[in-house]
């Protein structure tokens, strides 16, 4: 992606989509120097105006097109459903602005390819919001792993155990392949998968399964999988929206230590623990302690780094780079569930069919779907 020229003028930002995540963007932007949030847009009548009033935004519109026609903006934040991201990104680049887009960035890798190509052509930034990578704790742990101080990573677990009920899925675009792109793996688990891959590096193969355990959806409400990384580390991955005690958990066992993280939607130093192996000296273990200065993960940290790069004309920072890495892993998990075999990264990179969408069969284990059946083999498999 091309870099922008340094600027001393305030960067003019706009938000499109004013749902719950847009609040996090607006609050983060309010903390940034030399950034002005000048407009908001939402297709629901009156919603953008209400959001604009709450956050002291001077202009409100009912479409992105109206916003781009009426307002001069430098950066547009897309907080909209993923089905519209590819088209909206193209419109923003054509208008000469940068894009910061919420996850998942699109319905498929092919759409993200179109978005990155459009960014390159326009000479603009495309930053995807994977805020779990941010914060001083994640930076510290990544530096320890990269330095070799913890030894070779061996085994990991990565769990996104959330709860979303029928009210959440009453929103028309959720739970459907054509409009959400996938189920909990794509919409929720991708955050923790991204953090795991940020820490462990490039992946090699994925094996996955999709399950429908309780929710009346086209897509999955739970998934299980295994990721083998190029380093040889093996990770078990679990995503769920049927877990009453919610938690987001990563554990990495290395030759010299166990790294543990448990949080929900954001983490600080207190959420992490590094336990040395018995053979590690106290002096070596003491060197692994987290720094005194702390920055928690979140939109504040991510947008600070992205806007700093925009203002200086620098490349995107590590917290916003690699926009397709986590999506490639998720696409491989869906493809594995579809084909019943492990999927190599080379296939996801090279084969258009694997970059074109996530739709896959889902094993339905809900007892009311096929009463009296006790074995997975006898149950109906496939999208509802």
Q: What are phi and psi of 180, to 5 degrees?
A: -105, -20
| The pLDDT of residue 109 | 97
pLDDT higher than threshold 70 for residue 382: no
| The pLDDT of residue 120 | 95
Neighbours of 132 (CB within 10 A): 28
| The pLDDT of residue 322 | 85
240 vs 381: which has the higher pLDDT: 240
Return d(Cα 277, Cα 116) in angstroms, integer: 43
Strand-pair category, 75-78 with 59-61: unpaired
Q: Across the strands, what pairs with 76?
A: 14, 99
For 317, which DSSP code? P
Q: What is the percent of the chain with per-residue pLDDT over 90, rounded to a whole number?
A: 92
State yes or no: cis peptide before 252, omega within 30 of 0: no
Which pairs with CB-CB distance under 8 Å and at least 24 residues apart come from 169-176? Answer: 169/215, 169/216, 169/217, 173/81, 173/83, 175/215, 175/216, 175/217, 175/218, 175/219, 176/217, 176/218, 176/219
pLDDT higher than threshold 70 for residue 256: yes
- Reported as a single tens digit per residue, the pLDDT across 348-367 is 999 999 999 999 999 999 99
Residue corresponding to tokens 């070779």: 152
Q: Encoding tokens for residue 296? A: 């928690």
Neighbours of 339 (CB within 10 A): 13
- Reported as a single tens digit per residue, the pLDDT across 321-333 is 888 999 999 999 9
- Reported as a single tens digit per residue, the pLDDT across 152-196 is 999 999 999 999 999 999 999 999 999 999 999 999 999 999 999
SS3 label, residue 351: coil
| The pLDDT of residue 4 | 54
Return d(Cα 329, Cα 190) in angstroms, integer: 9
Q: Is pTM beyond 0.75 here?
A: yes
In order, the DSSP letters of 21-62 are: HHHHHHHHHHTSTTEEEEEEE-SSTTHHHHHHHHTT-SEEES
């Amino acid at each position: 992606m091309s870099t922008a020229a340094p600027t001393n003028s305030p960067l003019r930002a706009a938000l499109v989509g004013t749902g719950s995540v847009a609040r996090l963007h607006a609050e983060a932007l309010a903390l940034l120097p030399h950034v002005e949030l000048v407009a908001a847009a939402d297709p629901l009548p009156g919603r953008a105006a209400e959001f604009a009033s709450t956050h002291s935004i001077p202009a409100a519109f009912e479409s992105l097109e109206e916003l781009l026609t009426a307002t001069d903006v430098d950066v547009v934040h897309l907080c909209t459903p993923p089905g519209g991201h590819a088209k909206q990104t193209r419109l923003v680049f054509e208008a000469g602005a940068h894009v910061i887009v919420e996850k998942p960035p699109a319905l498929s890798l092919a759409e993200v390819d179109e978005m990155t190509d459009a960014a390159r052509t326009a000479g603009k930034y495309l930053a995807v919001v994977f805020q779990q990578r941010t914060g001083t704790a994640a930076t510290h742990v990544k530096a320890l792993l990269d330095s070799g101080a913890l030894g070779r990573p061996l085994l990991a677990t990565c769990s996104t155990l959330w709860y979303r009920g029928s009210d959440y899925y009453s929103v028309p675009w959720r739970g459907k392949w054509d409009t959400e792109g996938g189920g909990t793996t794509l919409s929720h688990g991708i955050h923790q998968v991204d953090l795991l891959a940020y820490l462990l590096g490039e992946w090699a193969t994925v094996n996955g399964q999709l399950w429908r355990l309780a929710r009346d959806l086209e897509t999955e409400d739970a998934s299980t999988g295994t990721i083998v990384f190029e380093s040889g580390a093996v990770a078990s991955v679990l995503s769920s929206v049927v877990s009453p005690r919610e938690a987001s958990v990563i554990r990495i066992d290395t030759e010299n230590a166990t790294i543990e993280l448990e949080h929900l939607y954001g983490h600080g130093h207190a959420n992490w623990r590094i336990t040395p192996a018995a053979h590690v000296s106290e002096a070596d273990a003491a060197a692994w302690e987290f720094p005194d200065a702390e920055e928690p993960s979140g939109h504040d940290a991510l947008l600070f780094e992205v806007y700093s790069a925009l203002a200086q004309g620098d490349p995107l920072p590590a917290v916003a780079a690699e926009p397709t890495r986590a999506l490639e892993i998720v696409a491989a998990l869906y493809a594995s569930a579809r084909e019943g075999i492990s999927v190599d990264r080379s296939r996801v990179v090279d084969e258009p069919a694997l970059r074109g969408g996530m739709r896959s069969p889902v094993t339905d284990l809900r007892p009311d779907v096929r009463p009296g059946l006790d074995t997975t083999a006898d149950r109906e498999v496939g999208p509802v």
